[in-house]
């Protein structure tokens, strides 16, 4: 398989420091809204990278569930591989890629668990079957077979036929950014890259070489 000739020449849009908001959170919300309005496939899908206790990086795709002035929120099993990595090293990197808009956003920062009340509130909004799944799946652990998972889910459903409470091992994380980069594809690989860097509590906006 020859992959050398696979390439795209990006040319749809440009990005300048002047058009970027002073806040990377506001700028992200603008871009996310454009992605949603443009019907980008899975606009909230984000690759989240972590580093475990042995110093090995690992990453996976999750769904962003909230953006607020503090940062970027997603929910997961605290006992999963990523959860254990966050316990060992409380920093994360996130990457959004919207190829239809020729855009990428990179976010780095500290990661913290949401409080129980916020996790409870979101869990209650999930479909019934998804709430059962949070109990049934020992995420990232080796599974003897699909039948064992189905049986466990059935047992959880029998135990909680009407209301499924949030498992104590499941909840939200927030990535509190200290670096955010907006990437806009441009012709000849001369891409526009605008970085926000937090310094002494203030955001510094600067252009990076492509």
46 annotated as ligand-binding? no
Q: Are the C-beta atoms of 186 and 104 separated by less than 8 Å?
A: no
189 annotated as ligand-binding? yes
23 annotated as ligand-binding? no
8 annotated as ligand-binding? yes
205 annotated as ligand-binding? no
In 10 A of CB 14, how many CB atoms? Answer: 10
44 annotated as ligand-binding? no
75 annotated as ligand-binding? yes
149 annotated as ligand-binding? no
7 annotated as ligand-binding? yes
86 annotated as ligand-binding? no
183 annotated as ligand-binding? yes
10 annotated as ligand-binding? yes
Q: Are the C-beta atoms of 210 and 127 separated by less than 8 Å?
A: no
3 annotated as ligand-binding? no
63 annotated as ligand-binding? yes
13 annotated as ligand-binding? no
140 annotated as ligand-binding? yes
103 annotated as ligand-binding? no
104 annotated as ligand-binding? yes
160 annotated as ligand-binding? no
Extract long-range pairs of 88-93: CB within 8 Å, 24+ residues apart: 88/51, 88/52, 88/53, 89/50, 89/51, 89/52, 89/53, 91/50, 91/51, 92/48, 92/49, 92/50, 92/173, 92/175, 93/48, 93/49
81 annotated as ligand-binding? yes
Work out whether strand 71-77 and strand 91-98 pair parallel, antiparallel, or are unpaired.
unpaired
30 annotated as ligand-binding? no
Please count the CA atoms within 13 angstroms of the CA of 134 that sit on its side-chain side.
Answer: 25
184 annotated as ligand-binding? no
CA 34 to CA 155: how far, in whole Å? Answer: 43
9 annotated as ligand-binding? yes
Q: Are the C-beta atoms of 170 and 119 separated by less than 8 Å?
A: yes
Q: Which residues are annotated as part of the binding site? A: 7-10, 60-65, 75-76, 81-82, 104, 122, 126, 130, 139-140, 183, 189-191, 193
- Binding-site positions for FMN read 60-65, 75-76, 81-82, 104, 139-140, 183, 193
Enumerate the known binding-site residues for substrate.
Answer: 7-10, 65, 122, 126, 130, 189-191
């Amino acid at each position: 398989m020859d992959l050398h000739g696979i390439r795209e020449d990006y040319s749809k849009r440009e990005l300048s420091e002047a058009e970027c908001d002073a806040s990377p959170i506001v700028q992200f919300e603008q871009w996310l809204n454009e992605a949603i309005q443009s019907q980008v496939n899975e606009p909230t899908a984000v690759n989240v990278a972590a580093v475990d206790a042995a110093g090995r990086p690992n990453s996976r795709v999750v769904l962003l569930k909230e953006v607020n002035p503090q940062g970027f929120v997603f929910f997961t099993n605290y006992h999963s591989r990523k959860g254990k990595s966050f316990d060992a090293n409380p920093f994360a990197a996130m990457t959004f890629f919207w190829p239809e808009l020729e855009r990428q956003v990179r976010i780095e920062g500290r990661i913290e668990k949401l409080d129980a009340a916020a996790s409870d509130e979101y869990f209650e909004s999930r479909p019934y079957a998804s709430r059962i799944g949070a109990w049934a799946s020992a995420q990232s652990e080796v599974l003897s077979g699909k039948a064992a998972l189905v049986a466990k889910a059935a047992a959880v459903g029998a135990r909680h036929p009407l209301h499924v409470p949030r498992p104590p091992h499941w909840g939200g994380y927030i990535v509190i950014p200290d670096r955010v980069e907006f990437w806009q594809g441009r012709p000849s690989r001369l891409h526009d890259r605008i970085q926000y860097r937090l310094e002494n509590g203030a955001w510094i906006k600067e252009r990076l070489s492509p």
